[in-house]
Amino acid sequence: MSRALVVGGNGFIGAHLVQKLVDTGWDVTILHKYEQPRYSKMPTAVRFLRGDLTQESLLAEAVEDQEVVFHLLWTTTAIHEVANRDPAADVQANLVPTIHLIEACRAAGVGRLLFTSSGGTVYGRTQTAPIPEDHPNNPVNAYGVSKLAVEKYLQMFRHLHGLDFAILRPSVPYGPHQNPLARQGAVAVFLYRVAKGLPLTIWGDGRISRDYFYISDLVDALILGGMQPLNDQRIFNLGGSEEVSLNRLIAQVEKTVGRKAEVEYQPARDFDAPRVLLDTTRAQTVLGWQPKVLMKDGLAKTWEWMQATIL
């Protein structure tokens, strides 16, 4: 039986990953400050440790004898505009605790540490599409800078100590259990607000585009990233097979919900990349991964869950 620690296992991505790991026979430990996911139940088969990465003794206990550590935890201060207003707080809340985790994994001889970075922010503003992993990294917001710093620390720890790691750079995942009341997560937020007759705020003219992809596709990539043999290539883009602008997303949400959206356009923000379309060839070649769920089907599944759970 494979053993895994999921740091942030009761968050949106973590809850889906934990359920899949349990369903496929893994021995799972969760480290999180929340005792239950927001919209689902933590499986009874898991071992739960309540706390965070600043608690050294708890962290040492959590990583002991783990084959794979999935690091999914990033605090709410990582909302882009909040992180930009106080970059030092972002570093203290996210980068420093992650370094503690890396050090604990090295000390415990963890099999592999898998980190979820950000395909939407570490590259910055690009002129290339789709974006390959070897594209220059010039993040334009504090969130992207912190994520990229973690990547560099992982590479340093491999060079100095032989730490086995993998880095996933997802675009924008969505699906059931995503909080529709948050300030991020356009799919869930748009579905909810259109259903409730609430206005949507769009920064810019709505032509900003992302390659959204469904949560089950991300979970598949996480597990493959934790288990597949790796050589020098350890950074992998993840995204959907479709590039969707905000305007097109609104139209698809309207069709899914069966109701017109009220849209308020505001001036564009200088920390938003105008276009994110990731080249996922490396993930396909090395991990054997590719997205399976089409946007229209993922929207339908998310809408079905939202109707049954929240509305």
Q: Is 219 helix (H, G, I), strand (E, B) or coil?
A: helix
Sheet holding 47-50, edge to edge: 47-50, 27-32, 3-7, 68-71, 112-116, 165-170, 235-238
Per the residue annotation, which of 143, 192, 212, 214 is the catalytic one? 143
Provide CB contacts within 8 A for 295, sequence distance 6+. 212, 240, 242, 244, 252
Kindly report the backbone phi and psi dihedral angles of residue 148, in degrees, each rounded to the nearest multiple of 5, phi listed first: -65, -35
Provide CB contacts within 8 A for 220, sequence distance 6+. 289, 292
DSSP states along 31-53 = EES-SS-SSS---TTSEEEE--T
Kindly report the backbone phi and psi dihedral angles of residue 195, in degrees, each rounded to the nearest multiple of 5, phi listed first: -60, -35
Burial class (CB in 10 A: 0-12, 13-18, 19+), 32: buried
Q: Is 34 a catalytic residue?
A: no
H helices within the chain, ranges in order?
A: 12-23, 56-63, 80-85, 87-90, 96-108, 142-161, 186-196, 215-227, 246-257, 281-282, 295-309
Q: Return d(Cα 167, Cα 177) in angstroms, integer.
A: 24
Kindly report the backbone phi and psi dihedral angles of residue 144, in degrees, each rounded to the nearest multiple of 5, phi listed first: -65, -40
Q: What is the DSSP-derived secondary structure letter of residue 76?
A: G
Q: What is the enclosing helix (H) or strand (E) of 74?
A: none
Catalytic residues: 143
